[in-house]
A and B are shown apart, each in its own frame.
Chain A
Amino acid sequence: MSPYLELPLGEQAIITLAAMILVTSLALLAQSRVVATIRTFAWQGWLLALTTALVAWDSGHSHLYLSALLTVALKGILIPILLTRQARQLGILRDVDVVIRPGITLLMASALVVFCYSVALPIGQLVEGVTRDVVAISLANVMLGMLMLIIRRTAVTQVVGFMALENGIFFAAVAATQGMPMIVELGVAFDVLVAAVLFGVIFFHIRESIESLDVDALSRLSEVEK
């Protein structure tokens, strides 16, 4: 009988949910449509909140319930709605945005996950409790968010990648140290919210100045005739 099977069902659920969060990160990379990307991001928010609540229940840290609630409200509901509305106003909700083919991206992402596992192995040894093995997954989430920032071309999906990266950092805090101090968490949460609003303003400015949201157009210099 493996030691995993001797864990109580609640802890097994935490680990299973952690693996599902990893899958949503991979799904974010494989999605090509803007609307599907935002929807997958919302799913990730809900899963993250559920995992946090389960960790709170399992470890008895009641302040984690509050962060779970905050996660659901912001990353599960508010930010996806904001992003969807901005994308609709820009008329790019159903646009397709892929730079490299999804098959290759997924293989790269799998390699990254293996890399994160080997890097996080010594970190996991220092952590107490069930979330020891989850540290590698949260690190992989950060890296996958970063990969998404690199391979995506339009600004909206890059923002989703940034938010997914932030999800990974939050998840790492929950897994490694049972959450950050409340004041830090609140600060980060509102930062993310403000960022989402500001990004919306920036989207419009980018589109006004280069007439598209394709950030590749920003890498060429051109003189404006006046």
Chain B
Amino acid sequence: MVDFLKVMGWLFALLQVVMFVAAAPLFAAWVKRVKCWLQNRKSPPLLQPYRDLRRLFGKDVLLAHSASPIFRTAPYLVFGTTVIAAAVVPLVALELPTARVADAIVLVGLFGLGRFFLALAGLDVGTSFGGMGASREMTVGALAEPAMLMVIFALAMVAASTNLSTVIHAILSQGIALRPSLLFALLALLLVGIAETGRVPVDNPATHLELTMIHEAMILEYTGRQLALMEWGGQLKLMIYGVLVCNLFFPWGIAQTLDPLSLLIAGALLCIKLIILGAALAVAENLVAKMRFFKVSVFLSIAFTLALVGMLSFVMLESA
């Protein structure tokens, strides 16, 4: 019986990752749709990203003459690290065998590894845009990572653990409470997420304008299935940050046992939360203009300070 439960747990963890990866393009499409509505444009259908991915997977891969093996393996590494990161984040259930590796610092490390290979791939072909994009991505990453770690430390102080499942447990068990530490950690995580996933004030995912692009500049040389994997990886990263915000700060409804009913409720609630979060992201993207690249450091130091204030307010105000 115990073995059966264990196998079930692993199977469900696997299923959860597949759901995560499969739903990521849909979430990106939802954000795009709300954005289109707000700008009075006709939006592409919600399944358009899937069609794009299928089309790209069917195309031949064209490689630049100067491309090295790093360029060819990078898409698989980037996509792979992002999928493992998705496996680390609890989606609808907590009591899974993967909970033991669900550590927030591992998550940051996986993102760092993916970013490293993405930047290498951008540099590899030797075009100026790739190099420019890589240098910008690393600048943003170097500033976003400390802020992200600060958010994690603030959460870790509240829950006395860096394990994501334990943190969610701790937040669930405290009931309704107003905690400044969590409030500022949430705000900081939103800012970091916007910077890390390349959304509007930092990078614009919808443009190929030479002087401003970051993520698009690095994957400019990719074609076919490699491009598909890169884009899917980007969408997956957006979804991971969305799920992190929903599940860490609004975890109510997440399944604590593996029975079908609570899983169903958890899935439905998570969908509603993601729909609201995606709409909020689209509204925010419409309200602000893309900032100059040199302003990004200010943006991220605000995120860092907010996370730091979150941590300090735990020490100063909540631990007495």
What B residues does A16 contact at CB under 8 A? Answer: 178-180, 183
**Which A residues between 1 and 16 are near B, CB-CB below 8 angstroms?**
1-5, 9, 12-13, 15-16
Are the C-beta atoms of A106 and B305 separated by less than 8 Å?
yes
Are the C-beta atoms of A109 and B305 separated by less than 8 Å?
yes
Given A102-B301, A109-B305, A113-B312, A5 and B174 contact (CB-CB distance below 8 Å): yes
Question: CA–CA, A86 to B297, complex, Å?
Answer: 32
7 A-B residue pairs with CB within 8 Å: A2-B318, A15-B178, A15-B180, A19-B309, A26-B305, A106-B304, A136-B316
Given A30-B298, A103-B301, A133-B320, A19 and B177 contact (CB-CB distance below 8 Å): no
Distance of A138 from chain B, by nearest CB (Å): 11
**Which A residues between 78 and 114 are near B, CB-CB below 8 angstroms?**
101-103, 106-107, 109-110, 113-114
Distance of A124 from chain B, by nearest CB (Å): 8
Most-contacted residue by chain A among B317, B318, B320 (CB, 10 A): B317
Distance of A107 from chain B, by nearest CB (Å): 7
CB within 8 Å: A-B pair count: 79
Binary interface encoding of chain A residues 106-128 relative to chain B, with 1 for a CB under 8 A from any of its CBs, else 0: 11011001100100000000000
Question: CA–CA, A133 to B177, complex, Å?
Answer: 17
Binary interface encoding of chain B residues 266-302 relative to chain A, with 1 for a CB under 8 A from any of its CBs, else 0: 0000000000000000000000000000000110011
Are the C-beta atoms of A9 and B179 separated by less than 8 Å?
no
Q: Cβ of B315 < 8 Å from any Cβ of A?
A: yes
By a beta-carbon cutoff of 8 Å, the part of chain A in contact with chain B is 1-5, 9, 12-13, 15-16, 18-20, 22-23, 26, 30, 101-103, 106-107, 109-110, 113-114, 117, 132-134, 136-137
Residue of B nearest to A3 (CB): B320
Residue of A nearest to B298 (CB): A102
Given A26-B309, A106-B301, A117-B315, A12 and B320 contact (CB-CB distance below 8 Å): no
Are the C-beta atoms of B318 and A4 separated by less than 8 Å?
yes
**How many residues does chain B have at the interface if contact means C-beta atoms less than 8 Å apart?**
26
Distance of A129 from chain B, by nearest CB (Å): 12
What B residues does A30 contact at CB under 8 A? Answer: 298, 302, 305
Q: Cβ of B184 < 8 Å from any Cβ of A?
A: yes
Q: Cβ of B313 < 8 Å from any Cβ of A?
A: yes
Distance of A16 from chain B, by nearest CB (Å): 5
Distance of B174 from chain A, by nearest CB (Å): 5
Distance of A176 from chain B, by nearest CB (Å): 15
Question: CA–CA, A136 to B319, complex, Å?
Answer: 14
Are the C-beta atoms of B316 and A137 separated by less than 8 Å?
yes
Are the C-beta atoms of B306 and A4 separated by less than 8 Å?
no
Distance of B89 from chain A, by nearest CB (Å): 26
Are the C-beta atoms of B305 and A110 separated by less than 8 Å?
yes
Question: CA–CA, A59 to B4, complex, Å?
Answer: 57
What A residues does B313 contact at CB under 8 A? Answer: 19, 22
What B residues does A110 contact at CB under 8 A? Answer: 305, 308-309, 312
Residue of A nearest to B314 (CB): A4
What A residues does B176 contact at CB under 8 A? Answer: 9
Residue of B nearest to A14 (CB): B178
Are the C-beta atoms of A103 and B298 separated by less than 8 Å?
yes
Distance of A149 from chain B, by nearest CB (Å): 20
Are the C-beta atoms of A4 and B297 separated by less than 8 Å?
no
Distance of B67 from chain A, by nearest CB (Å): 37
What B residues does A19 contact at CB under 8 A? Answer: 180, 183-184, 309, 313, 317
Distance of B302 from chain A, by nearest CB (Å): 6
Residue of B nearest to A98 (CB): B298
Question: CA–CA, A16 to B309, complex, Å?
Answer: 12
- Set A18, A102, A109: member contacting B317, Cβ < 8 A: A18
Are the C-beta atoms of B178 and A9 separated by less than 8 Å?
yes
Distance of A168 from chain B, by nearest CB (Å): 15
Residue of B nearest to A136 (CB): B316
Given A26-B309, A102-B298, A106-B302, A4 and B180 contact (CB-CB distance below 8 Å): no
Are the C-beta atoms of A20 and B301 separated by less than 8 Å?
no
Question: CA–CA, A109 to B298, complex, Å?
Answer: 14
Are the C-beta atoms of A103 and B317 separated by less than 8 Å?
no
Are the C-beta atoms of A117 and B316 separated by less than 8 Å?
yes
Residue of A nearest to B295 (CB): A102
Distance of A170 from chain B, by nearest CB (Å): 19
Residue of A nearest to B181 (CB): A19
Question: CA–CA, A19 to B179, complex, Å?
Answer: 10
Given A12-B179, A23-B309, A133 and B316 contact (CB-CB distance below 8 Å): yes
Are the C-beta atoms of B317 and A15 separated by less than 8 Å?
yes
Question: CA–CA, A137 to B297, complex, Å?
Answer: 26
Are the C-beta atoms of B302 and A4 separated by less than 8 Å?
no
List the 5 closest pairs (A to B, CB-CB), nearest first.
A19-B180, A103-B301, A12-B178, A4-B318, A19-B313
Binary interface encoding of chain B residues 179-222 relative to chain A, with 1 for a CB under 8 A from any of its CBs, else 0: 11001100000000000000000000000000000000000000
Distance of B168 from chain A, by nearest CB (Å): 16
